[in-house]
């Protein structure tokens, strides 16, 4: 809150608050600031204080004024030679039946959530984050594994030379065994380790696609995937995702008109809805892929908290047209950045070439430490504890959300809840930032952003009644 007793004036405090958000990209380039009247009401100050604060931001070059439209964050895009911005708008490759028109400027971007992981909005649990709280992942077995594989001899043996191009052989053999429990049968020679699951998705995109190629992506879907593909210059074909799977009629039309080469899917515990693919939908989807010749990259990031018997395209397809992607950041240690993919034999070498061109090899020491955690059963037991804890947290969060007047737009399972708040969550997001909370508004999960009353919550970080009290107060005010 703004403090009248502070050494800074109210104008300076308000300007500093907006300046910090702009610099840390918590307000994205192009985002509209609240009107003078709205801002004055929200912060309990006079309109003249807001005008003075906005004047300071204008003088600092952080915002621009547009006649009869308001104040906007300056869009300081880098020259194209230096690469596209992370939150470049998605390039749509054709109209979608029922697709809403693109709405106004939205304050929360894909990069905002990413930067929120590094620049803490506050010390409060953050409902918009996509990972478990740090204290959930604390362990003694991980440091022990690192110490064991970083003895003097091992350190010299593995650090003073490049690792295996495909990744540590021991880890890949264990991953092949792990995949067999999911009925995905492959060998270590068809598995490539990566610097996290996102890196694996990027390798697939760079290998199979060229600038301007259309790619089908689920909607609602992972905001970072929309932004990443757009930054690579791809044309995004949003496919509506329902409880059983993607809208196959829309996909069939895309195949006839655009001939896409790739479909990106989260079959199990879909982000943000939590949906799981049904067997019937999976079979029809694979038939469509075979008929039209596109590949499917199956992102199974949440495999460690998901049931083994859940339907996975890679299991049904036998890794013919599918590429399986997963990682360990969600369950073990976000900073270890170990991911992997299992690919059809014909794609292993092209994918490996792309990996070598982007990162050379991956860190063998951490891969060996991870292999030790898997081999000794420590990762499995750790995942079981996380699942038990998540079940309890989810039950508490559901009760609090319902009591706060929310409705679940999808069955609450997995890590995330897809919640209908009844108010514009883009506007709510900025009000929640004032209270120290970063939320994930529904518009963020659509390729063509439009106002939404939905938001994604993390069950692990929304079991605190304090958050829901603030949420209730602000939604009532809205």
Give the pLDDT confidence of 124-179 residue by residue, as tens digits.
999 999 899 999 999 999 999 988 888 756 666 666 677 899 999 999 999 999 99
Query: Computed over its alpha carbons, how large is the radius of gyration of the chain?
Result: 23
pLDDT in tens, 209-226: 999 999 999 999 988 899
More confident residue, 27 or 270: 270
Query: How far is residue 240's CA from residue 98's CA, in Å, rounded to a whole number?
Result: 10
More confident residue, 349 or 147: 349
Quick check: 406 pLDDT over 90? yes
What average pLDDT does the segment 256-272 reach?
A: 96
pLDDT in tens, 410-442: 999 999 999 999 999 988 988 898 888 999 999
pLDDT in tens, 27-85: 878 888 889 998 998 888 999 999 999 999 999 999 999 988 999 998 765 444 433 33
pLDDT value of residue 78: 47
What average pLDDT does the segment 264-279 reach?
A: 97
- Of 90, 161, 122, 203, which Cα lies nearest the Cα of 364? 161
Name the average pLDDT for the chain: 88
Quick check: 98 pLDDT over 60? no
pLDDT value of residue 30: 81
Q: How confident is the model at residue 5 (pLDDT cuts 50, 70, 90)?
A: confident
The reported pTM is: 0.84
Of the listed ranges 89-98, 147-156, 385-394, the least confidently predicted one is 89-98
Quick check: 94 pLDDT over 60? no
pLDDT value of residue 80: 44
User: Taking the domain 10-76, which CATH number applies?
Assistant: 1.10.10.10
pLDDT value of residue 76: 63
pLDDT value of residue 104: 38
Of the listed ranges 4-8, 242-246, 339-343, the least confidently predicted one is 4-8
β-pairing verdict for 407-408 and 416-420: antiparallel
CATH class of 141-376: alpha beta
Alpha helices in 247-344 (DSSP H): 248-258, 279-292, 313-317
Contact of 445 with 420, CB cutoff 8 Å: no
User: Taking the domain 120-136+381-477, which CATH number applies?
Assistant: 3.90.1150.10
**Domain ranges, ordered by start, for the chain:** 10-76, 120-136+381-477, 141-376
pLDDT value of residue 87: 41
How large a percentage of the chain has pLDDT more than 90? 67
175 CB-near residues (< 8 Å, 6+ apart): 188, 191, 340, 342
């Amino acid at each position: 809150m703004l403090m009248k007793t502070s050494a800074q004036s109210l104008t300076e405090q308000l300007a500093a608050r907006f300046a910090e958000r702009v610099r840390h990209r918590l307000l994205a380039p192009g985002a509209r600031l609240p009107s003078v009247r709205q801002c004055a009401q929200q912060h309990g100050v006079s309109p003249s204080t807001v005008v003075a604060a906005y004047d300071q931001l204008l003088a600092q070059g952080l915002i621009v004024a547009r006649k009869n439209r308001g104040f906007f964050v300056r869009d300081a895009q880098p020259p194209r030679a230096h690469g596209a911005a992370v939150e470049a708008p998605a390039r749509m490759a054709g109209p979608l039946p029922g697709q809403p028109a693109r709405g106004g400027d939205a304050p929360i971007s894909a990069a905002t959530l990413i930067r929120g992981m590094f620049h803490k909005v506050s010390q409060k649990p953050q409902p918009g984050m996509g990972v478990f709280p740090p204290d959930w992942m604390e362990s003694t077995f991980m440091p022990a594994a690192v110490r064991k594989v970083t003895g003097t001899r091992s350190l010299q043996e593995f650090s003073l030379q490049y690792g295996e191009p495909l990744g540590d052989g021991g880890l890949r053999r264990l991953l092949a065994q792990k995949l067999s429990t999911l009925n995905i049968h492959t060998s270590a020679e068809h598995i490539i380790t990566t610097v996290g699951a996102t890196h694996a998705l990027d390798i697939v995109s760079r290998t199979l696609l060229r600038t301007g190629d259309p790619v089908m992506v689920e909607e609602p879907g992972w905001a970072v995937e929309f932004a990443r593909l757009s930054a690579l210059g791809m044309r995004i074909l949003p496919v509506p995702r329902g409880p059983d799977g993607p809208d196959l009629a829309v996909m069939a039309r895309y195949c006839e008109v655009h001939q896409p080469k790739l479909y990106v899917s989260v079959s199990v515990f879909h982000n943000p809805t939590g949906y799981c693919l049904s067997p019937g939908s999976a079979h029809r989807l694979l038939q469509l892929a075979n008929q039209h010749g596109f590949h499917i990259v199956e992102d199974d990031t949440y495999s460690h908290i998901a049931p083994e018997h859940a339907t996975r395209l890679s299991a049904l397809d036998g890794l013919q047209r599918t590429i399986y992607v997963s990682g360990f950041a969600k369950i073990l240690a976000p900073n270890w950045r170990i991911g992997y993919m299992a690919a059809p034999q014909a794609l292993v070498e092209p994918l490996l070439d792309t990996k070598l061109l982007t990162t050379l090899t991956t860190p063998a020491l951490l891969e060996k430490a991870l292999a030790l955690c898997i081999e000794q059963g420590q990762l499995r037991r750790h995942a079981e504890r996380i699942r038990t804890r998540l079940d309890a947290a989810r039950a508490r969060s559901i009760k609090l959300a319902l009591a706060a007047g929310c409705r679940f737009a999808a069955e609450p399972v997995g890590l995330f809840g897809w919640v209908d708040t009844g108010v514009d969550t883009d506007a709510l997001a900025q009000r929640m930032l004032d209270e120290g909370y970063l939320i994930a508004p529904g518009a963020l999960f659509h390729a063509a952003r439009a106002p939404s009353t939905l938001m994604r919550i993390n069950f692990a970080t929304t079991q605190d009644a304090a958050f829901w009290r603030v949420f209730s107060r602000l939604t009532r005010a809205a």
